[in-house]
A and B are shown apart, each in its own frame.
Chain A
């Protein structure tokens, strides 16, 4: 089975860890590795994704989120096959952060497959990100998926889409 490393990138408190937790659900070692977040700055989970043609074992590197994406942590991206860029739909500023993170990744590693995940769709009343802004990104070739770590909507799709992109 193929193995791929992917990274969760995004501003602080956009729901990266929740997305991973929702995706891998009751993974046996999920609880065990949670504490590494605070100690190492990274937490790794695995999950097998079936894209239809092929099964892939994903090693999901979940970086502790801070708005400032430092060099020390960008080294963790080394060897990643792709990444999920996560933004919080209720805070438009996090989309800006996602954009700048993406720029830095492209600078360091070149163009890698990625999917923009707009999280927290369950909070419709607080939704801040304009549809036009999203449109623009899609026009630039970005893949965008709306998700809710709370309801689970879009979570599976985001990871599966990224996997398919990486296999292409």
Chain B
């Protein structure tokens, strides 16, 4: 009986034959009506009893694809479910065969690293830019003043002005007890503080919701509530059993609730429903929600960074400063180098200085060379001719004897120490002396002039013993006077006569010794009384008398001449002023001495 197992059999009181007959009819009817379907059902049963892996494998991709197509992208259930498996599969793959994993991800590594580096770099630039913007701009200054006035830190003020919003605390709270399940915060918050805050927030929220409900008959869905106090906002996302509370600054957009808070609370409510149901005060099972809460710690700046790489004018300021600094530096360097070259040029031109090395050492200019001690000091030249600072220049000089005409001249002067009346000149190593000097000096010069380095010869050109000129001057000032109408010395001039003789002897003696040609002319004078012829003769007699006196004392007669000029060239042209004195002075002789040193050379 194929149908027997499918027909319910009465268990008690065996049915009467009538009833059994009825049952058979019903069974037959059933067979007629449902026969095909029942056969199908029998065929399907084994498939339903055990899931065929082949079948599943065939439909799984389609099923996943269909699910992805049908559900909205915000539904993360499948991804959430697969995540742990995929993660551990990846771990195992890396462990077992790192090479093939490396090969697989190699093509994306380069672009990823490039992107990361670029991202970091542009972030850095943006940060720098922002810092400068806040630091240098008028707005930045205003904010600094504001910070000073409000006694807040500058960073807080900047944050306040540039922040769109920033989530600072996220609490996961057990709705019924107000106990803290888990929390995340920027910075350090102690556990007990978080607990208190969580309780206080629940109390707040319950109180306000009750108020809204009782006083204002607000029956709306209270899954989302927002409270605002000053800069702070408290956002609540309420699940059936847990509450997500975010404490934040600024004003986040609605998307923060719909896109962040709501999905988070949904996920937690869904994934931890068992733990929530069993919650007896132990928060440990909610530890794994922390990453979800941390994901809520979002912040958004007022200035969107989506503009990508962008350089504001504020970034140009330091660049400009650097360029200007470089320009100034270049200008100063070029100027100093030019000054340095000019200075070196001057040193090179300077007699007695020879440059052997130049350069820069320890950030200073450096010059080394030879310097004659008689040359001007390089330091003095620097101070006199250059704007370079003495500290910028180091000099190293070795002493030597220069043969430059100027230095040789200096050196000769240094050695000979000529009196002012002597003029020394040097030409091609030939030293010429002219003028007058004491005999001792002249003799010393003749001896040592040739020793001086750079001097080949010593010439005297009209160099005259000073004493000759002294005697000449002295004698030419003498006016020996005569008795009226005679060629006899007026009385009282004996001493003068002796002196004249001494002088004239010494003069010619010196002239002989120095090989100087000296000639003397004795001129006789008369007063203007008496006849001209008489006076002429008388004047000549007076001159001749003196000449004869000199000859008598041993002077060569050829060097002496005597002339008379009568009263035509009076010694005193205006005797009227003092007649006696003037007339007396005109009865006299005068001396004219010519000295010709000629040119002589003395060689060593």
Residues of A bordering B, CB below 8 Å: 1-5, 27-29, 33, 36, 40-42, 44-46, 56-57, 59, 61, 72, 75-76, 78-81
Residues of B bordering A, CB below 8 Å: 174-180, 190, 192-193, 195-196, 199-200, 203-204, 206-207, 210-211, 214, 280-284
A79 and B204 form a contact (CB under 8 A)? no
A36 and B179 form a contact (CB under 8 A)? no
Docked CA distance A42–B210 (Å): 15
Collect the chain A residues with CB atoms within 8 Å of residue B280's CB.
2
Q: Which of B174, B180, B210 contacts A75 (CB 8 A)?
A: B210
- Given the known interface contacts A59-B196, A61-B199, the answer about A3 and B210 at a Cβ–Cβ threshold of 8 Å is no
A36 and B192 form a contact (CB under 8 A)? no
A29 and B196 form a contact (CB under 8 A)? yes
B196 and A40 form a contact (CB under 8 A)? no
A81, chain B: closest CB distance, angstroms: 7
B196 and A33 form a contact (CB under 8 A)? yes
A41 and B176 form a contact (CB under 8 A)? no
B195 and A4 form a contact (CB under 8 A)? no
A3 and B200 form a contact (CB under 8 A)? no
A2 and B203 form a contact (CB under 8 A)? no
Docked CA distance A152–B127 (Å): 57
A3 and B199 form a contact (CB under 8 A)? no
Which of B193, B195, B282 counts the most chain A CB atoms within 10 A? B195
B196 and A75 form a contact (CB under 8 A)? no
Q: Which 3 A-B pairs have the closest CB atoms?
A: A79-B177, A79-B176, A44-B199
Classify the interface of chain A: helix, strand, loop or mixed: mixed
Docked CA distance A128–B593 (Å): 157
A3, chain B: closest CB distance, angstroms: 5
Docked CA distance A29–B179 (Å): 17
Collect the chain A residues with CB atoms within 8 Å of residue B178's CB.
5, 59, 61, 78-79
Docked CA distance A4–B177 (Å): 8
- A-B contact sample (14 more), CB < 8 A, given A72-B211, A79-B177: A1-B283, A2-B280, A3-B281, A4-B281, A27-B192, A33-B200, A41-B203, A42-B207, A44-B196, A44-B200, A59-B195, A76-B206, A76-B207, A80-B177
Docked CA distance A72–B204 (Å): 12
* 17 A/B residue pairs, CB under 8 Å, sorted by A: A2-B282, A3-B282, A29-B192, A40-B207, A41-B203, A42-B200, A42-B207, A46-B192, A57-B195, A61-B203, A75-B206, A75-B207, A75-B210, A76-B206, A79-B179, A81-B177, A81-B281
A106, chain B: closest CB distance, angstroms: 18
- Given the known interface contacts A3-B281, A3-B283, A56-B281, the answer about A78 and B203 at a Cβ–Cβ threshold of 8 Å is no
B199 and A29 form a contact (CB under 8 A)? no
Docked CA distance A27–B195 (Å): 13
Q: Which of A3, A40, A45, A80 contacts B203 (CB 8 A)?
A: A40
B179 and A5 form a contact (CB under 8 A)? yes
Collect the chain A residues with CB atoms within 8 Å of residue B282's CB.
1-3
Q: Which of A2, A5, A28, A75 contacts B199 (CB 8 A)?
A: A5
Q: Which of B174, B180, B207 contacts A41 (CB 8 A)?
A: B207
B515, chain A: closest CB distance, angstroms: 122
Collect the chain A residues with CB atoms within 8 Å of residue B203's CB.
40-42, 44, 61, 76
Collect the chain B residues with CB atoms within 8 Å of residue A1's CB.
282-284
A78 and B206 form a contact (CB under 8 A)? yes
Collect the chain B residues with CB atoms within 8 Å of residue A4's CB.
177, 179, 281
Docked CA distance A154–B210 (Å): 36
Q: Which B-chain residue is minimally distant from A44 (CB atoms)? A: B199
Q: Which B-chain residue is minimally distant from A4 (CB atoms)? A: B281
B176 and A59 form a contact (CB under 8 A)? no
Q: Which A-chain residue is minimally distant from B200 (CB atoms)? A: A44
Q: Which A-chain residue is minimally distant from B179 (CB atoms)? A: A3
A72 and B207 form a contact (CB under 8 A)? yes
Docked CA distance A40–B196 (Å): 14
B208, chain A: closest CB distance, angstroms: 10
Collect the chain B residues with CB atoms within 8 Å of residue A33's CB.
196, 200
Docked CA distance A41–B193 (Å): 19
Docked CA distance A4–B192 (Å): 13
Q: Which B-chain residue is minimally distant from A73 (CB atoms)? A: B207
Which of B199, B204, B206, B207 counts the most chain A CB atoms within 10 A? B199
Docked CA distance A27–B193 (Å): 10
Q: Which of B176, B180, B206, B211 contacts A3 (CB 8 A)?
A: B180
Collect the chain A residues with CB atoms within 8 Å of residue B180's CB.
3
Q: Which B-chain residue is minimally distant from A80 (CB atoms)? A: B177
Docked CA distance A40–B205 (Å): 10
Collect the chain A residues with CB atoms within 8 Å of residue B190's CB.
28
Q: Which A-chain residue is minimally distant from B192 (CB atoms)? A: A46
Q: Which B-chain residue is minimally distant from A41 (CB atoms)? A: B207
Collect the chain B residues with CB atoms within 8 Å of residue A36's CB.
200
Docked CA distance A80–B207 (Å): 16
Docked CA distance A61–B176 (Å): 14
Q: Which A-chain residue is minimally distant from B198 (CB atoms)? A: A59
B176 and A46 form a contact (CB under 8 A)? no
Collect the chain B residues with CB atoms within 8 Å of residue A76's CB.
203, 206-207
Collect the chain B residues with CB atoms within 8 Å of residue A2's CB.
280-282
A3 and B195 form a contact (CB under 8 A)? yes
Docked CA distance A1–B177 (Å): 16
Collect the chain A residues with CB atoms within 8 Å of residue B283's CB.
1, 3
Docked CA distance A42–B281 (Å): 21
Docked CA distance A45–B193 (Å): 9
B215, chain A: closest CB distance, angstroms: 10
Collect the chain B residues with CB atoms within 8 Å of residue A42's CB.
200, 203, 207
Q: Which of B175, B176, B193, B204 contacts A40 (CB 8 A)?
A: B204
B584, chain A: closest CB distance, angstroms: 133
B281 and A72 form a contact (CB under 8 A)? no
Q: Which B-chain residue is minimally distant from A72 (CB atoms)? A: B210
Docked CA distance A2–B178 (Å): 14
Collect the chain A residues with CB atoms within 8 Å of residue B196's CB.
29, 33, 44-46, 59
Collect the chain A residues with CB atoms within 8 Å of residue B199's CB.
5, 44, 59, 61
Q: Which B-chain residue is minimally distant from A60 (CB atoms)? A: B199
Q: Which A-chain residue is minimally distant from B176 (CB atoms)? A: A79
Q: Which A-chain residue is minimally distant from B175 (CB atoms)? A: A79
A114, chain B: closest CB distance, angstroms: 16
Docked CA distance A2–B214 (Å): 34
A70, chain B: closest CB distance, angstroms: 10
Docked CA distance A28–B179 (Å): 19
Q: Which A-chain residue is minimally distant from B207 (CB atoms)? A: A40
Docked CA distance A65–B210 (Å): 19
- Given the known interface contacts A44-B200, A45-B196, the answer about A78 and B176 at a Cβ–Cβ threshold of 8 Å is yes
Docked CA distance A28–B195 (Å): 13
A78 and B177 form a contact (CB under 8 A)? yes
A61, chain B: closest CB distance, angstroms: 7
Q: Which B-chain residue is minimally distant from A63 (CB atoms)? A: B203
Docked CA distance A125–B479 (Å): 154
Docked CA distance A128–B386 (Å): 108
A9, chain B: closest CB distance, angstroms: 15
Docked CA distance A45–B200 (Å): 10
